[in-house]
Amino acid sequence: MSKLDLELTDLRKVFPEHFTEEQIAKAQTLFLKELAYDMHKFYGGKMITVPKAGLYGFNWFNVWYTPGVSKVSTSIRDDNDASFELSNRGNLVAVVSDSTRVLGDGDCTPPGGLGVMEGKAFLMKYLGGIDAVALCVDSYNKKGEHDADKIIEFVKMLQPSFGAVNLEDISQPNCYKVLDTLREECGIPVWHDDAQGTGCVTLAGLLNALKIVDKDIGKAKMAFFGAGASNTTIVRLIIKAGGNPENIIVVDSRGGLHKEREDIKADQRFYRKWEICESTNPKKVNSIDEAMKKADVLIALSKPGPDVIRPEWVSSMNNKAIVFTCANPVPEIYPYAAKEAGAYIVATGRGDFPNQVNNSLGFPGILKGALIVKAKKITDDMAIAAAYSMAKTAETRGINPENIVPLMSEWEVFPAEARDVAVQAIKDGVARVKLSSEEVYKKAEEDIKESRALVSHLMESGYIKKPPMEILERVLKKVVEKIE
């Protein structure tokens, strides 16, 4: 084993040389899970609240609180939109979840989602210069059922305090009703990152992958495995971006989506799935292995692997096949296995493999752009604008089969997204203020740089304590022993 470093720059090198590719993949997943637990326990979570205004003497309490703050209250009373300027509302996001579909772990009970929601807040702050609060809610009604209306009412009640809402890890079918209702009835953007976020980042990766293999989005044959909030939104955005519905086959746990799926038609809660049934899969293909035959693209967001997608199914795809297997925490097939089976470009949702098609590339910049122009909602066209922005950022610096989307470390993608989303918001008529693209970019860039500098300062000054290497080494030893 190579020496483990605090930056975790290349986990593959810290495992024994005799480990197979499958053992390394399993060890990486287990190491990250075990380390996450120990680090969250060490820090007591990931986020704190600190003032952004100064205290230059104790009389300043009378400015920040009573009696001085009375003028702020009455000003906002007379013009509610003044709250975006006179409070932190204009840069504050609520990360809301009922924790019923937490990553690959399913229903984790309401507080079980806090680790993920704090993680979203962490990423928003560092990558987008946005303040965010994790809000995990109990959506059970008196019948013991998860009730979409309870989440809807909760978000409507909290919107006066926030500039935007990020919905997260809400199981279907509630996720559809919650998002679509709140998008129309709230006066601030309501963004479902599992749906719209995954959709626009996947579209960005697909656009560049198709450029590399020289295939047209309107002619490419595409198979989708999984029909939850993510894939149903991905399909909608791909079609809106030029994909041909007749070349698309979506398969869920009960078979292909098509006009004869009476079970979906009969349950109006799954109206998004029925929209796909009506417009795609004209040949009524019913299995994923059949859907993948001669397909140019596979996009899977189904259940954690690694044996959900079989290598022989990948081998049946067209030449220079594009395979996105994005289940968390383990993809439906490991990238090495997909490549061995003949895939030309492989992407997953994980950062320890090439081509991380991950929402973290999208929501910080998208929400930042919406916040800067005080948008009332995020339209599908704004999400598509973000996808093209991401794709362009990667293409400008160079793309190849192992590098189709920007890396999280390429911070330039976020102000660029913010700019392009804000411009589209103005075009769509949902922005409260109109700014030039240069003004939006500059504001986003300044806020992101400031957030990163703040974190660096807290680390250098010791307010964020460096974790002991003994913890990392203990976790590594435990993982190696378990895998061996």
CB atoms within 10 A of CB 172: 20
* SS3 per residue for the chain: CCCCCCCCCCHHHHCCCCCCHHHHHHHHHHHHHHHHHHHHHHHCCCCCCCCCCCCCCHHHHHHHCCCCCHHHHHHHHHCHHHHHHHCHHHHEEEEEECCCCCCCCCCCCHHHHHHHHHHHHHHHHHHHCCEEEEEECCCECCCCCECHHHHHHHHHHHHHHCCEEEECCCCCCHHHHHHHHHHHHCCCCEEEHHHHHHHHHHHHHHHHHHHHHCCCCCCCCEEEECCCHHHHHHHHHHHHCCCCHHHEEEEECCEECCCCCHHHHHCHHHHHHHHHHHHCCCCCCCCHHHHHCCCCEEEECCCCCCCCCCHHHHHCCCCCEEEEECCCCCCCCCHHHHHHCCEEEEEECCCCCCCECCHHHCHHHHHHHHHHCCECCCCHHHHHHHHHHHHHHHHHHCCECCECCCCCCCCCHHHHHHHHHHHHHHHCCCECCCCCHHHHHHHHHHHHHHHHHHHHHHHHCCCCCCCCHHHHHHHHHHHHHHHC
Give the residue carrying structure tokens 């090198």: 13
- Is 65 labeled as catalytic in the residue annotation? yes
- Would you give the DSSP letter of residue 269? G
- Is 293 labeled as catalytic in the residue annotation? no
Q: Which of the residues 120, 125, 374, 443 is marked catalytic?
A: 120
Q: Which of the residues 37, 43, 65, 463 is marked catalytic?
A: 65
Query: Amino acid identity, residue 294?
Result: K
Query: Amino acid identity, residue 354?
Result: P
Distance CA 271, CA 281 (A): 17
Any idea how long the chain is? 484
Helices (H) and strands (E) in the chain, counts: 19, 10
The radius of gyration of the chain's CA atoms, rounded to the nearest angstrom, is 23
Distance CA 239, CA 258 (A): 16
Q: What are the angstrom distances between the C-alpha of 202 and each of 219, 401, 480? A: 18, 15, 33
Active site residues: 65, 120
